[in-house]
Structure 1
Amino acid sequence: MVGLKKLFNSAVVVIAFFSTSVALADEASEQEGQRIAEERKARDKGWDNTVADTVMILRNAQGQESERDMRVKTLEVEGDGDKALTIFDSPKDVSGTAFLSISHPIEADEQWIYLPAVKRVKRIASRNKSGPFMASEFAFEDLTSFEVEKYKYDLLREEEYKNMPVYVVEQVPQDDFSGYSKQILWIDKEHYRVHKVEFFDKKGDHLKTLDFEDYKLYQDKYWRPLKSLMFNVQTQKSTDLITKKLEFGVGLDESDFDKNSLRRAR
């Protein structure tokens, strides 16, 4: 009996040690994931404002395509999330449509869309943020700025991706209305640029993959991908966002991102 008791006690000690080691490892990977997210954000501060000429290519499961021309204006806000105004110029059925997104680190993001066909501004409710943006594979929540506080992080591993050393980081949305249970990101170690994101739905199944390609350096500091390619693995549909022209410091300010001026967006 004494021997059995000693064996039992030894097993308890081993289990306790193993559990403690796992907990410490989990804590370390979470801290490293948080550090990577903070560094990613820090590397992209100070750009102020931009305007981009962009083409949206919608592709159905059979490979049939349609294109939309749009302009995307963005404004960096000190101490808060960024603001973005998207204006569709063509084709005719979407021309004049304008979408305003005001991001926040902790509070709910604010989003409005102006639909010229009905001449009204509609607010996108937080519970609808997982819905498709203009029939694309991008959800409304995909169009908000990256803010560190929106997620919890965990460094899953380090590996090579497209001949680059990368961090593979899991981020879990803290907003109950998010359409995702988690996202997995491939972030290069040199510049902290995101190269790929896998999105998982509320059931935990792989939903979409977003690839960022053709990164270009602006003002010797700010990296921007010229291609953002979203593929829905469940429906086989895809949407490409191709940046044709991008300018920094074009003189935008808060007054250019007022929901009351959506009808006049040009």
Structure 2
Amino acid sequence: MTPIVKADEESEKEGLRIATERKNSDRGWDNSLADMSMILRNAQGQESERRLRVKTLEVQEDGDKALTIFDSPRDVSGTAFLSFSHSKEPDEQWIYLPALKRVKRIASQNKSGPFMGSEFAFEDMTSFEVDKFTYDFLREDTYQGDDVYVITQIPQDDFSGYSKQIVWIDKEHYRVRKVEFFDRKGDLLKTLEFEDYTLFDDKFWRPLKSFMYNVQTQKSTELITHELEFGVGLEDSDFDENSLRRAR
């Protein structure tokens, strides 16, 4: 076996270790409710704001469930989005459009499309699961003064809109600080930066700001968390197709 092959195996092993530690460092939160704003900006910098609530449920041994409900402005009010993330199977997603009064399932081949006109794709709205990617450790670095690992993760889903993602993860808490998304051609498509990390219940780190910038179109979307509460009593029955229709 040549040293080069061994080095590749070592970097894959280290990349997987970092990704696994990232997941393991954020377990046990059970359920949460967030009040958020979504700021859409076009290439000229013009803004529009949406208010939304996000309910999430931690699922042991699988991906998490999330229900996103849009409250304003009027043209999106009542729109609800349900996502079942999975660790080994394709994610499942549905959206309720009040104007049509029906629930529409998001097909796997459409998950790379824009979520509600934002720079986030449908596939970005799922929980991180280790088995969704293969990994490669690139280097150690610093990001905004913190020591970080930089790894590549390659989606295993044939319908992903990304050929790869490069992820900056801080060494101290294994929090994601930055992600670069590359399109199917291998060109840089988007960058995602997480800011204002806050510790909840002395255990769980969450960024209060997420900024997604489309390098190719100069459009951006910012997600701002105004309130976040854990242990609000959500359970599995709060996350089904009926919950989409009654979401208010």
How is 1:156-167 mapped onto 2 (pairs within 5 angstroms)?
156-167=138-149
Which aligned runs of 4 or more in structure 1 are off by greater than 2 angstroms?
Answer: none
Q: Does 1:170 align with 2:169?
A: no
Q: Deviation digits for residues 234-258 of structure 1, max 9, x if unmatched?
A: 0000000000000000000001001
Does residue 1:209 correspond to 2:196, yes or no?
Answer: no
Is 1:69 paired with 2:51?
A: yes
Report matched runs for 1:91-240 at 5 Å. Answer: 91-240=73-222
Structure 2 letter corresponding to 1:256: D
Tell me the amino acid that sits aligned with residue 26 of structure 1: D
Q: 2:23 maps to what in 1?
A: 41
2:61, 2:139 → 1: CA distance?
Answer: 31
Question: Normalising to structure 2: TM-score of the pair?
Answer: 0.99
From the two aligned structures, give the one with the greater helix fraction.
Answer: 1
Q: 1: distance between equivalents of 2:70 and 2:142?
A: 38
Alignment correspondent of 1:86: 68
Q: Could you report, residue by residue, the CA deviation over 1:175-206 in whole angstroms, capped at 9, with x for unpaired residues? A: 00000000000000000000000000000000
Distance in 1, matches of 2:30 and 2:146, equals: 29
CA-to-aligned-CA distance 1:122-144 (integer Å, 9 cap, x gap):
00000000000000000000000
Identity %: 76
Cα distance, 1:260 vs structure 2: 2.5
Cα distance, 1:259 vs. partner?
1.3
Q: Deviations over 1:81-136 (max 9, x none)?
A: 10000000000000000000000001010000000011110000000000000000
Kindly state the Cα deviation for residue 261 of structure 1 after the two structures are TM-superposed. Answer: 2.5
Quick one: which of 227, 237, 241 aligns to 1:255? 237
Cα distance in 2 for residues equivalent to 1:226 and 1:34: 27
- For 1:258 and 1:161, the matched residues in 2 are separated by 39
Task: Select the structure of larger CA radius of gyration.
Answer: 1
TM-score, structure 1 as length reference: 0.92
Name 2:228's counterpart in structure 1.
246
Q: Aligned partners of 2:67 and 2:228: how far apart in 1?
A: 14
CA RMSD of aligned residues (A): 0.7
Residue 108 of structure 1: SS of its match in structure 2?
A: coil
Partner in structure 2 of residue 7 of structure 1 = none
**Residue of structure 2 in register with 1:9 after alignment:** none
Q: Which amino acid aligns with 1:245?
A: E
Aligned residue pairs, count: 248
Amino acid at match of 2:37: V
